[in-house]
Amino acid sequence: MELKDIISVPGMGGLYKVVANNKNGFIVESLSDSKRTMIASNQRIMTLVDIAVYTTEEDMPLREIYKKIQQTEGQKLGVDPKADGSKLREYFKKVVPTFDEERVYTSDIKKMLVWYELLKDKIDFSKAEETGGDADEKIISAAEHDKPIPKKHESHGPKAESAKATTAKTRKKV
C-alpha cells in the first residue's frame, strides 16, 4: 500500500483505502476496522499525498512530516495524540521547527498524529513515493507536442448562404 492509495473523507472519521470504482462513486475500506462503504462521486475526498502543512518557507508535504517522525521517534510516537494542545504543539515544533503556528491548528496536529498511528505499521515512509518529477515532465512534453486538433462536426449550424437563400417563413402567426 502506498500513501497515494489512502484517502480522507470529510465528515467520516479515519482513513480509507480505495478498493474499487463504481458508476456512482468509490468503494472504500476503513483502515481501522476493515469495513467497506460506498462514497458518492460528488462527495469531497482528499488523498494524503495532496495534503501539506503550512511552514514559514514552503508548504511541507505530509509524507515528509511522517518521514521525519519515523526517523526521530521510530514506530512509537513521543506524545499521545489525545494530549493537551500545548504538548502537541511543543512536540510538533520539535518535528517541524518551521511550521506556521498561526495557520496550523491544534486539531490539525492531532489529526496528523492519529493518522500516523494508523499508518505506521502499513507504510514505510522512508520509502514513500516521490510525486512530481517524471510525471510532470511527461505531461509537459505531451502538452508541447504539436498536434493539429481535428475539427469535429463542421457541418452543424446554419450556413450563411443557405440562410439568405431560403424563402420559408420561420415565424408563426398568432
51-126: CATH, from 3.40.1390.10, 3.10.150.10, 1.20.1440.60, 1.10.10.1650: 1.10.10.1650
**CA separation for the pair 48, 15 (Å, rounded):** 9
Domain spans in the chain, listed from the N-terminal domain onward = 3-48, 51-126
| Confidence (pTM) | 0.69
Partnered with residue 39 across adjacent β-strands are 26
Query: Could you name the CATH architecture of 3-48?
Result: Roll (2.30)
Give pLDDT tens digits along the chain (174 positions). Answer: 788 889 999 888 889 999 998 888 989 999 989 999 999 989 999 999 999 999 999 999 999 998 998 888 777 888 888 889 999 999 999 999 999 999 999 999 999 999 998 888 888 777 645 544 444 444 444 445 555 555 555 555 555 555 555 555 566 665
